[in-house]
A and B are shown apart, each in its own frame.
Chain A
Amino acid sequence: MASKKDPTGAIADDAVADLEIIRKQLDREIRKALAKLNTAPGEDTLVKAQGRVAAQVASQIDATMKAKGLKVITGVLRDRAIESALAALGGVDLPVSVESAVDQILKSQTKDIADVFGDASSTIRKAIALGTTTSASLSDLIEGVAEKVGATVTKAQAAVDASVMAAGRTAVIRAATEAADGLVDLVYLYSGPKDSRNRPFCRVHVGKALTESGIAQANNGQGLPVDAFAGGYNCRHVWSPMTLAEARRRGIEILE
C-alpha cells in the first residue's frame, strides 16, 4: 500500500499543511474579534467570560482540525482495517498485482480528499471574512467556522470511504483470480440492491454474473473502471466471487 513508496504521503502532507494555514487564519481572526470585545465599555466581566470561552473554543477548533485532519488522512491510508483485509484476501504476503492495483486506486482517490480540504480552506476563509466584516457576534463566527470544519471532516470521510470501497472491489477480484488460478473457474455476481435508485448500468447487471474479461470490457458510462467503481462513484454494488459451476446451478445469467 502507501507504505513502500508512500505516493499518498505527499498528498496527505499537503492537506495537513492546508489545515495548518486555516488554523493560523482562525487564530488571527479570533484574536481580532477578542480585541474588539476588549474595547467594549462597561462589560468587563462579560468580556472576560466571553474571552475565556472563545479561547477554549479556538483551542478546540485547533485540536479538532489537527486531530481529525490527521486521523482522516493518515489513519485511513496507512492504518485502517482495509489493509489487513486486503492482506488476508491475498494471503500472508500481499500479491504484487493486488498491491499495485490497490495503490493505484488510493493514489487517484486521495486527490479527492485533498480537494475536500482545499475547498474547505476557501469556504472557511469566506465565513471568517463575512463574520468579521459584518460584525457578527463572536459566538456566531466561531459556530459558523466550527460548522464548516465539521462538514469538511464529514466530506473527507465520505471520500475516504469511497476510495476504500473501490480498492476493496479491485482487491476482491485480483485476490480471487489468484486464489482460483488453475483450480476452478470463477465468475463475479453483481451483488447489491435492486431499486429505483439504480443507475442504468446497475439495473442491467444486478443479479447477473460476469467473468473477469466481461468486467474488463464493461462500460459504466462514467469514465471509471468497472472493476473498482462498479456502476460509478459511490456505487452500492459489489463483486461476489463464486465458481462458474455454482452460478450455473443457481441459474444465474452469466455475461462473458
Chain B
Amino acid sequence: MSLVVTRSGDPPRVPLERIAKLVATLAPSLIRDRTGEGLDVKDKPFVKYSKHYGDAKVAAGRNPGVNLTVTDGLLGSVAAVSVVVTEQGFTIVIAPGAGTSAATRFVGGVAKRTGERSPTHSVLGAIHHYGRGRMPARPWLALSPKDMASLMRQLLDAGIGIPLRGR
C-alpha cells in the first residue's frame, strides 16, 4: 500500500522530511496491530477460516480468530519500504518484508513445522490480501479508517496537522 500526502498553502512548521519519517515509523504498527486483532482494512472481522482449518488451529491451542498469524513472521515484517519526499508532499510505501517463516501445519492438535520455509512474506501477504484459489481475500494491507484516525491523532500529538490519503 502507499500513503500519499500532498502539500498546499504555507510551508509546514515541521519539515516534510521529518513528518514523512514520523509517519513511516507510526503507520506500519497500525496495520500490524489492527490485523493482529482480526480486523480488515474496513475495520470489519476477516472472513472466517474453513471449518477444517479453524478447528485444527484451535485444537493446537492457537487463537481461534482470523488474524493472519501462525508464526507471526508476516505481520512482524511489515515496514515502510520506501519514502519519497518531494516539494509537493511525500509518498510512503508499506509492505511485508522479503524474509520467510517456518512452514507450519496443524496436525493432531499440534502445530508442526514441516521443515520447509514459507513463501517470502511479501508473497504470502499478497495471497492473503487478494485471495487465491479457494482461499478468500482477506484485505489487510492498507490503513483502515480507524488506523487513519489514529495516525492523524498521533501527528496532532506532535503538533502536525496534515491531510493524508491512503491507496
Give residues in A with beta carbon < 8 Å to B: 80-82, 84-85, 88-92, 151, 154, 157-158, 160-161, 164-165, 168, 172, 175-176, 178-180, 183-184, 189, 191-193, 195-197, 236-238, 240-246, 249
Contact = CB atoms under 8 A, between A and B. Distances in A.
A183 B69 CA distance: 34
Contact of A157 (B22, B77, B81, B100): B100
Contacts of B24: 88-89, 175, 179
Given A85-B80, A238-B76, A246-B153, A165 B29 contact: no
A168 B79 contact: yes
Contacts of A179: 18, 21-22, 24-25
A85 B99 CA distance: 12
A175 B97 contact: no
Question: Would you call the interface of chain B mostly helix, strand, loop, or mixed?
Answer: mixed
Interface stretch (B46-54, B126-134, B135-143, B154-162): B154-162
Interface residues of B, number: 48
Contacts of B21: 89-91, 175, 178-179
Contacts of B158: 180, 183-184, 243
Contact of A241 (B26, B62, B160): B26
Given A92-B85, A172-B79, A195-B62, 14 more contacts: A81-B98, A88-B83, A89-B79, A91-B17, A158-B102, A165-B73, A168-B77, A179-B21, A179-B22, A191-B36, A193-B72, A241-B29, A243-B154, A246-B154
Contacts of B80: 85, 88-89
A174 B27 CA distance: 16
Given A89-B24, A172-B25, A195-B61, A82 B76 contact: no
Interface in B1-39: 14, 17-18, 20-22, 24-26, 29, 32-33, 36
Contacts of B81: 81, 84-85, 88
B99 A161 contact: yes
B163 interface: no
Interface string B138-151: 00000000000010
Contacts, number: 138
A241 B61 CA distance: 29
Given A179-B22, A236-B72, A164 B97 contact: yes
Interface string B88-101: 00001100011111
A246 B157 CA distance: 8
B42 interface: no
Contacts of A178: 21
* B83, B92, B98, B117: residue with the most chain A Cβ atoms closer than 10 Å: B98
Contacts of A193: 36, 63, 69, 72
Nearest to B102: A158
A75 to B, nearest CB: 9
Nearest to A171: B79
B98 A183 contact: no
A85 B22 contact: no
Interface in B103-132: 115-117, 122
A236 B76 contact: yes
B99 A180 contact: no
A236 B98 contact: no
Given A88-B80, A168-B79, A183 B22 contact: yes
Nearest to A168: B79
A192 B63 CA distance: 12
A109 to B, nearest CB: 13
Contacts of B100: 157, 161
17 contacts: A84-B81, A88-B81, A89-B25, A154-B115, A157-B100, A161-B73, A161-B100, A168-B76, A179-B22, A191-B36, A192-B72, A195-B61, A238-B32, A242-B26, A243-B158, A244-B157, A246-B154
* B18, B72, B99, B159: residue with the most chain A Cβ atoms closer than 10 Å: B99
A192 to B, nearest CB: 5
